[in-house]
């Protein structure tokens, strides 16, 4: 059974790797410029272990409780853990115990909470991406729709980035987005990612070392790589379709 799952993951991973490589070739970029982050949410630690055996080195989770347990179960593996979900300030202490990167930093209050948690833990600096919600672009109709998936409005990203660079224990990695389902970029991932890359360029005035761009998932990794993404976050295409969203 484990063997069958290992074979399935290997085949899926090979297909994704081929897509990433082809997208890099098309964009005239080196394959090493793009890091594949495999999003393992809802899948068990055994799958993470199999993926590590297949050469995966970066994994992502979006819920602290699940992530903490999985990271503990996989502590012996040479993995970097990325946290990509909406994050409450009261979870900061837990997240800094296992996360190397947080992709969902979207407000100054969260910056403060992460900074205190890192300092108290006495750990290595936490790399932070400022998450940008392009559906909150100024003037966008329905910008306040729905419960929201997190992210700072584009006009607020620089303030969050500046807070990260000034916060002890934190390093500004760059910017992150999820292709919007509403607003001016709905159904236009290429345009959304181009906008994100422009914002990344602006933020490099705040911190020239913040060169990372986290964009692209199973359905739009090609558009993200074409736009300049350095990190693609791929779940479904590697692990399979997740059970209904919780
Ligand atoms: C789940 C998730 C992904 C992966 O999405 P897939 O479509 O399964 O590849 C990427 N980024 C974030 C923030 C996610 O929550």
In a domain, 246, yes or no: no
pLDDT interval class at 1 (50, 70, 90): low
Looking at the DSSP bridge assignments, the partners of residue 127 are 101, 171
Range of the domain at 156: 2-239
**pTM for this predicted structure:** 0.96
Residue 141 is predicted with a pLDDT of 58
- pLDDT for 95-126, tens place per residue? 999 999 999 999 999 999 999 999 999 999 99
Is the CB of residue 126 below 6 angstroms from any atom belonging to ligand 1? no
Q: Under a CB-based contact definition with an 8 Å cutoff, are residues 149 and 197 in contact?
A: no
Number of domains in the chain: 1
Q: Under a CB-based contact definition with an 8 Å cutoff, are residues 56 and 20 in contact?
A: no
In a domain, 244, yes or no: no
Task: Provide mean pLDDT across the span 218-226.
Answer: 98
In a domain, 245, yes or no: no
Q: Under a CB-based contact definition with an 8 Å cutoff, are residues 131 and 106 in contact?
A: yes
In a domain, 6, yes or no: yes
In a domain, 66, yes or no: yes
- pLDDT for 157-207, tens place per residue? 999 999 999 999 999 999 999 999 999 999 999 999 999 999 999 999 999
Q: Under a CB-based contact definition with an 8 Å cutoff, are residues 180 and 141 in contact?
A: no
- pLDDT for 25-82, tens place per residue? 999 999 999 999 999 999 999 999 999 999 999 999 999 999 999 999 999 999 999 9
As a dihedral over the C-alpha atoms of residue 32, residue 80, residue 179, residue 13, rounded to 10 degrees, the angle is 60
Instruction: Ligand 1 pocket test: pick from 235, 236, 237, 246 the residue with the most ligand atoms within 8 Å of its Cβ.
Output: 235
CA distance 192 to 212: 16
Instruction: Ligand 1 pocket test: pick from 19, 20, 39, 220 the residue with the most ligand atoms within 8 Å of its Cβ.
Output: 39
Is the CB of residue 82 below 6 angstroms from any atom belonging to ligand 1? no
- Any idea what the CATH number is for the domain that residue 159 is in? 3.20.20.10
The C-alpha angle with vertex 161 and arms to 141 and 81, in degrees rounded to 5, equals 100
- pLDDT for 127-167, tens place per residue? 999 999 999 988 765 545 445 679 999 999 999 999 999 99
3 state SS of 231: strand
Centre of ligand 1 from the C-alpha of residue 235, in Å: 6
Sign of the CA dihedral running 14, 18, 24, 30: positive
């Amino acid at each position: 059974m484990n063997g069958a799952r290992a074979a399935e993951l290997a085949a899926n991973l090979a297909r994704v790797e081929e897509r990433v490589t082809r997208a890099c070739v098309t964009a005239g970029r080196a394959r090493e410029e793009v890091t594949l982050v495999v999003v393992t949410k809802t899948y068990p630690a055994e799958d993470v272990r199999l993926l590590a055996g297949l050469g995966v080195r970066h994994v992502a989770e979006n819920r602290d409780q699940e992530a903490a347990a999985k990271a503990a179960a996989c502590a012996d593996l040479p993995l970097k853990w990325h946290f990509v979900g909406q994050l409450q300030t009261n979870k900061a202490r837990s997240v800094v115990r296992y996360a190397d990167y947080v992709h969902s930093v979207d407000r100054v209050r969260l910056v403060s909470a992460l900074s205190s948690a890192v300092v108290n833990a006495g750990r290595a600096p936490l790399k932070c991406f400022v998450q940008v919600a392009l559906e909150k672009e100024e003037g966008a109709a329905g910008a306040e729709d729905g419960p929201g998936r997190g992210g700072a409005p584009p006009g607020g990203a620089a303030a969050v980035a500046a807070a990260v660079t000034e916060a002890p224990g934190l390093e500004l990695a760059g910017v992150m987005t999820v292709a919007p389902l509403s607003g001016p970029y709905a159904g236009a991932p290429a345009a959304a990612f181009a906008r994100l890359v422009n914002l990344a360029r602006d933020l490099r005035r705040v911190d020239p070392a913040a060169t990372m761009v986290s964009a692209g998932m199973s359905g739009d990794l090609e558009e993200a790589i074409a736009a300049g993404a350095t990190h693609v976050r791929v779940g479904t295409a590697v692990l399979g379709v997740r059970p209904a969203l919780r």
